[in-house]
């Protein structure tokens, strides 16, 4: 029987990016928050220091920072006619575990979404017509988000300044600026820090892209270009291009992560309590099923506890957000046969690929000198930046393209051209020949939601606590394959313009496999919107069926954008918290700065409405 603990005002399920931000914003208003993290506590010192943090075997190959899939795995199949099997080795995507979550081992690639991304269905129909959209694939279930770019812009700005993003603005208040991305959505001001120094492989890509009339720009990065103190007073340092960024934590305080941008302040606040090694089993509901009363979790010693709370934030990895809703009976599970239900609906991923360019031996790339986001790139083929009207066969969406090499680590990076034996002396000679003379070009793009792709609970496999695993049913929609194959032809031309002796064509193909790394940008499954029939949460990430539960993170994306999604997740989190914060204080003592009195706010049994919209408070 679970031991019932003293009530808290709010609880977060997970203490990564969204969990840290949610807790910080809440405690500033006098709300008492408990943060439950399934992994261990870890800090930059001593846990992330060299030489141990540069152990490629431990972190890149054995995935030391990732979710323990011996205890909680995900099962996978390509379609509903197959039997799903557990993923016992993370390869295609890498859900994190431990304090800071996946935001500890991310690359730091820091993009905003485009204006059209938030109104994708409306935009597509307005520009191309319903008939065109239907031709792209009758199975596509794309929809508008329920929030616009203009509403999110100040929250993008706020989150970029929290992280200290390094970059060069290309569009400030509608004015195109030289040196930046001319296709980006308008921003209010310049990035907080200048872009990172351009790498040699980036300069080669820039020259080739410019020769073909494209518009190269420096990749925005949360690997900092100079020392910086963020608005919370936390100091970060400059990136040293050590080559150990993605899949690794930063030893230098030079990459934005919860440990470097918010946790040092949050953990000192008396209104916050962190509990690690705690596996949340479910959200508890009252007898009506319409109000959460808290959560039940198991600690590292196997003891079961009930943590009562007025507000529950689901702030785990997107896949785990969806699983928590399903295990808790919150929202109607999606049924692909009828198209009804919302939890698990619109699961999507990322469409990646790109050519490999083998250069002359006189060109020394030095791939080992790199950061997590060192790219020089173009946005000419991203989203709807190019005209899709005459595409045959038709497709929507796009990909950004860039030379984004994040480290030439010896176990993982050994490029060889076609025809090279897969092992033996000739393979070794080929690796030695091409290691320092090869440039990878990345294509990274949209993933359209489909009625055929979804998440549900597996009927067979269970976790270490006897609960069903999450089952993933996914394959690339034909729309996305057509999009990627069109763009890769353009990118091969860039590779040749760079002077490549051999350019090996890439591009996305079916079937999707979980055995090769592609992206950790799993999205959807608990999507946001204005219609409870097609969304699990409203525009403030509040569950329609249980209003005092909020699901924050990438699970809210109705379809995935072309870009790495962390900055958009941060902006959405701030957007939601700015509406939630005063609302959740109803019937709670006001913070000292309020000067007494009570806030006349809606009951927690009601949904946030348009009157909750506010500009950023900080």
**How do residues 128-166 score in pLDDT, each as one tens digit?**
999 999 999 999 999 999 999 999 999 999 999 999 999
Q: Are 279 and 465 in contact (CB under 8 A)?
A: yes
Q: Are 508 and 484 in contact (CB under 8 A)?
A: yes
Among 528, 611, 610, which Cα is nearest to 119's?
528
Q: So which residues are the catalytic ones?
A: 521
- What are 450's two structure tokens? 């489909």
Q: What is the pLDDT of residue 594?
A: 30
- For 135, counting Cβ atoms within 10 Å of its Cβ (0-12 exposed, 13-18 middle, 19+ buried), the class is middle
Distance in angstroms (rounded) separating the CA atoms of residues 148 and 144: 9
Q: Of 371-380, 460-469, 569-578, 601-610, give the lowest mean pLDDT range.
A: 601-610
pLDDT band at 609 (very low <50, low <70, confident <90, very high): low
Q: What is the pLDDT of residue 1?
A: 85
Please give the mean pLDDT across all residues of the chain.
Answer: 94
Q: Residues 66-107: pLDDT tens digits?
A: 999 999 999 999 999 999 999 999 999 999 999 999 999 999
Among 28, 33, 34, which Cα is nearest to 590's?
28
Predicted confidence (pLDDT) at residue 600 exceeds the cutoff of 80: no
Residue 175: left (phi > 0), alpha (psi -120 to 50), or beta?
A: beta
Predicted confidence (pLDDT) at residue 123 exceeds the cutoff of 70: yes
Give domain 3-196+219-347+449-476+520-612's CATH superfamily.
FAD/NAD(P)-binding domain (3.50.50.60)
- For 217, counting Cβ atoms within 10 Å of its Cβ (0-12 exposed, 13-18 middle, 19+ buried), the class is buried
* Residue located via tokens 């996978």: 76
Predicted confidence (pLDDT) at residue 485 exceeds the cutoff of 80: yes
Q: 362 Cβ partners below 8 Å, 6+ apart?
A: none
Predicted confidence (pLDDT) at residue 400 exceeds the cutoff of 80: yes
Predicted confidence (pLDDT) at residue 394 exceeds the cutoff of 90: yes
Distance in angstroms (rounded) separating the CA atoms of residues 6 and 22: 21
> Measured on CA atoms in the order 465, 466, 467, 469, is the torsion positive or negative?
positive
CA distances (Å), 376 to each of 99, 214, 220, 368, in order? 32, 12, 9, 17
pLDDT band at 614 (very low <50, low <70, confident <90, very high): very low
Q: What is the mean pLDDT of residues 431-439?
A: 97
Q: What is the pLDDT of residue 586?
A: 45
Q: Are 455 and 470 in contact (CB under 8 A)?
A: yes
Q: 610 Cβ partners below 8 Å, 6+ apart?
A: none
How is residue 93 annotated by DSSP? -
Pairing of strands 33-36, 8-13: parallel
Distance in angstroms (rounded) separating the CA atoms of residues 421 and 581: 60
Cross-strand bridge partners of residue 297: 280, 305
> Measured on CA atoms in the order 250, 251, 256, 259, is the torsion positive or negative?
positive
- What are 425's two structure tokens? 């002396």
Q: Residues 297-308: pLDDT tens digits?
A: 999 999 999 999
**What is the SS3 assignment for 399?**
strand
Q: Are 165 and 189 in contact (CB under 8 A)?
A: no
Chain centroid, CA 339 distance in Å: 26
CA distances (Å), 292 to each of 34, 271, 467, in order? 15, 21, 20
Q: How many CB atoms lie within 10 A of CB 439?
A: 27
Predicted confidence (pLDDT) at residue 597 exceeds the cutoff of 80: no
Predicted confidence (pLDDT) at residue 601 exceeds the cutoff of 80: no
Q: Of 246-260, 343-357, 575-589, give the lowest mean pLDDT range.
A: 575-589
Q: What is the pLDDT of residue 618?
A: 38
Distance in angstroms (rounded) separating the CA atoms of residues 208 and 205: 5
Q: What is the pLDDT of residue 187?
A: 98
Q: What is the pLDDT of residue 608?
A: 62
Q: Residues 536-547: pLDDT tens digits?
A: 999 999 999 999
Distance in angstroms (rounded) separating the CA atoms of residues 107 and 165: 12
Q: Are 588 and 595 in contact (CB under 8 A)?
A: no
pLDDT band at 584 (very low <50, low <70, confident <90, very high): low
pLDDT band at 607 (very low <50, low <70, confident <90, very high): low
Predicted confidence (pLDDT) at residue 9 exceeds the cutoff of 50: yes
**What is the SS3 assignment for 7?**
coil
Q: What is the mean pLDDT of residues 376-383?
A: 97
Q: What is the pLDDT of residue 602?
A: 34
Q: Quote the percentage of the chain above a pLDDT of 90.
A: 93
Distance in angstroms (rounded) separating the CA atoms of residues 457 and 455: 7
pLDDT band at 583 (very low <50, low <70, confident <90, very high): low
Q: What is the pLDDT of residue 581?
A: 78
pTM (two decimals): 0.94
pLDDT band at 493 (very low <50, low <70, confident <90, very high): very high
Q: Are 216 and 161 in contact (CB under 8 A)?
A: no
Predicted confidence (pLDDT) at residue 416 exceeds the cutoff of 70: yes
Q: What is the mean pLDDT of residues 213-237?
A: 98
* Residue located via tokens 């699901």: 551
How is residue 59 annotated by DSSP? I
Distance in angstroms (rounded) separating the CA atoms of residues 390 and 387: 8
Distance in angstroms (rounded) separating the CA atoms of residues 345 and 323: 12
Q: What is the pLDDT of residue 507?
A: 85
Pairing of strands 468-473, 454-462: antiparallel
Q: Residues 107-117: pLDDT tens digits?
A: 999 999 999 99
Q: How many CB atoms lie within 10 A of CB 412?
A: 12
In order, the DSSP letters of 246-278 are: TTS--TTS-B--HHHHTHHHHTT-TTEEEE-S-
Distance in angstroms (rounded) separating the CA atoms of residues 559 and 101: 23
Predicted confidence (pLDDT) at residue 41 exceeds the cutoff of 70: yes
Continuous H helices in 333-477: 425-434
Q: Which has more confidence, 313 or 582?
A: 313
């Amino acid at each position: 029987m679970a031991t019932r603990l003293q009530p808290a005002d709010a609880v977060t399920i997970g203490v990564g990016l969204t969990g840290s931000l949610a807790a910080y914003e809440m405690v500033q208003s006098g709300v008492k928050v408990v943060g439950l993290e399934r992994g261990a506590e870890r800090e930059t010192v001593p846990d992330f220091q060299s030489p141990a943090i540069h152990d490629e075997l431990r972190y890149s190959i054995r995935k030391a920072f990732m979710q323990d899939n011996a205890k909680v795995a995900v099962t996978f199949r390509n379609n509903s006619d197959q039997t799903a099997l557990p993923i016992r080795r993370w390869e295609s995507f890498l859900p994190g575990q431990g304090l800071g979550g996946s935001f500890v081992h991310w690359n730091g690639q820091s993009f905003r979404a485009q204006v059209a991304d938030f109104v994708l269905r409306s935009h597509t129909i307005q520009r191309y017509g319903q008939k065109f959209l239907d031709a792209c694939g009758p199975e596509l279930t794309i929809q508008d988000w329920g929030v616009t770019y203009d509403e999110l812009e100040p929250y993008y700005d706020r989150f970029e300044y929290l992280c200290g993003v390094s970059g060069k603005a290309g569009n400030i208040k509608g004015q195109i600026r030289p040196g930046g991305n001319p296709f980006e959505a308008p921003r209010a001001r310049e990035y907080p820090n200048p872009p990172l120094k351009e790498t040699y492989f980036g300069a080669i890509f820039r020259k080739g892209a410019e020769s073909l009339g494209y518009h190269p720009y420096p990749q925005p990065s949360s690997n900092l270009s100079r020392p910086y103190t963020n608005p919370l007073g936390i100091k970060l340092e400059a990136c040293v291009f050590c080559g150990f960024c993605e899949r690794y934590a930063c030893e230098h305080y030079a990459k934005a992560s919860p440990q470097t941008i918010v946790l040092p302040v949050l953990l000192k606040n008396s209104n916050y309590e962190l509990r690690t090694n705690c596996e949340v089993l479910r959200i508890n509901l009252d007898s009506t099923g319409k109000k959460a009363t808290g959560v039940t979790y198991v600690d590292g010693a196997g003891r079961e506890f009930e943590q009562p709370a007025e507000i529950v934030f689901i702030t785990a990895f997107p896949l785990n957000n969806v699983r928590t809703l399903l295990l808790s009976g919150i929202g109607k599970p999606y049924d692909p046969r009828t198209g009804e239900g919302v939890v698990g609906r619109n699961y999507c991923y990322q469409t990646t690929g790109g050519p490999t360019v083998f250069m002359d031996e006189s060109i020394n790339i030095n791939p080992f000198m790199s950061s997590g986001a060192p790219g020089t790139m173009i946005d000419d083929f991203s989203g709807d930046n190019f005209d899709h009207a005459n595409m045959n066969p038709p497709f929507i969406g796009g990909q950004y393209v860039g030379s984004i090499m994040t480290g030439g680590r010896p176990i993982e990076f050994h490029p060889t051209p076609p025809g090279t034996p897969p092992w033996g002396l000739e393979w070794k000679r080929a690796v030695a020949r091409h290691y320092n003379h090869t440039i990878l070009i990345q294509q990274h793009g949209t993933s359209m939601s489909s009625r055929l792709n979804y998440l549900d609970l597996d009927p067979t496999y269970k976790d270490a606590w006897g609960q069903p695993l999450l089952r993933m049913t996914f394959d690339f929609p034909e729309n996305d394959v057509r999009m990627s194959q069109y763009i890769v032809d353009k990118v091969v031309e860039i590779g040749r313009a760079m002077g490549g002796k051999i350019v090996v064509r890439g591009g996305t193909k079916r079937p999707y496999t979980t055995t090769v790394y592609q992206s950790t940008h799993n999205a959807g499954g608990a999507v946001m919107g204005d219609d409870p029939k097609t969304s699990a949460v409203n525009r403030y990430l509040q569950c329609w069926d249980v209003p005092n539960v909020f699901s924050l993170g990438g699970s809210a994306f109705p379809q995935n954008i072309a870009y790495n999604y962390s900055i958009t997740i941060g902006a959405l989190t701030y957007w939601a918290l700015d509406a939630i914060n005063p609302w959740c204080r109803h019937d709670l003592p006001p913070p000292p700065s309020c000067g007494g009195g009570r806030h006349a706010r809606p009951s927690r049994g009601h949904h946030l409405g348009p009157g909750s919209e506010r500009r950023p408070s900080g």
